Amino acid sequence: MTTNEDQEMELEALRSIYEGDECFKELSPVSFQLRIGDLEDSKSFILDVTWPETYPEIGPQISLDGFFNNRLAPDTKQLILSKLEEQVEANVGTAMMYTLFEWAKENQEALMENHTPVVTAVTLTSNSEVTLTTATAKKKEKREQLTKAQKRRIIGRTDHKGELPRGWNWIDVIKHVSGSTSESKPGETGSHFCCSNCCSPLCCS
């Protein structure tokens, strides 16, 4: 029996055994995912298994690099892979997918005994984005506190650059100076008010 025939027979057996099993996923005729444990279980993990061309004469390639396993510490991953490698070496030359899968399920507790969930960078980034979004929203709320009447007055006084024109308050200054002069007594110099940033001779003379 050729290597390809061995693979075809094992593939048919796997499809028959795990049909409808959500823990088993066939990615391609030579690539599979095996989930050990329930999705809600903090000690669950997913094995990515690929058959090389000459499998089962040589062992399958087993990986824990999937995103689902990011919560596993490096030491935990190394322990799982080393224990599975022992099982592979004991079964080289025979169909071993079912054997590996069932062994991993039976020994899940022992493999994950020292497991401590790892806080991933993705989670930290997500929290930062939420914080940034919240801060931005608060700034927008503060900006929107101006009433429509206040906004119209500001727009009416500013130029196209949003700045107040120079001497915008001269009329008020002239009125003030004229009123002060008319009320001054003979022989007295009329009092005046000088605004900041004013360059009017009527105000500052």
Only one residue has tokens 């119209």, namely 152
Quote the pLDDT of residue 32. 97
Quote the pLDDT of residue 74. 92
Quote the pLDDT of residue 115. 82
Quote the pLDDT of residue 37. 92
pLDDT beneath 50: ranges in the chain: 121-135, 182, 184, 186-193, 200, 202, 205
How far apart (Å, rounded) are the C-alpha atoms in residues 70 and 178?
Answer: 79
Quote the pLDDT of residue 108. 93
b/e sequence 172-204, b meaning 16+ C-beta within 10 Å? ebeebbeeeeeeeeeeeeeeeeebeebeeeebe
Cα 165 off chain centre by: 46
What is the DSSP secondary-structure string of 142-200? HHTTS-HHHHHHHHHHS-TTS-PPTTTTHHHHHHHHHHHHHHSPTTSPPP----TT---
Instruction: Summarize pLDDT for 145-165 with one digit per residue, the tens.
Output: 667 666 666 666 655 555 555
Quote the pLDDT of residue 61. 96
Quote the pLDDT of residue 154. 60
Quote the pLDDT of residue 42. 86
Quote the pLDDT of residue 125. 45
Query: Tokens representing 172?
Result: 């008020």
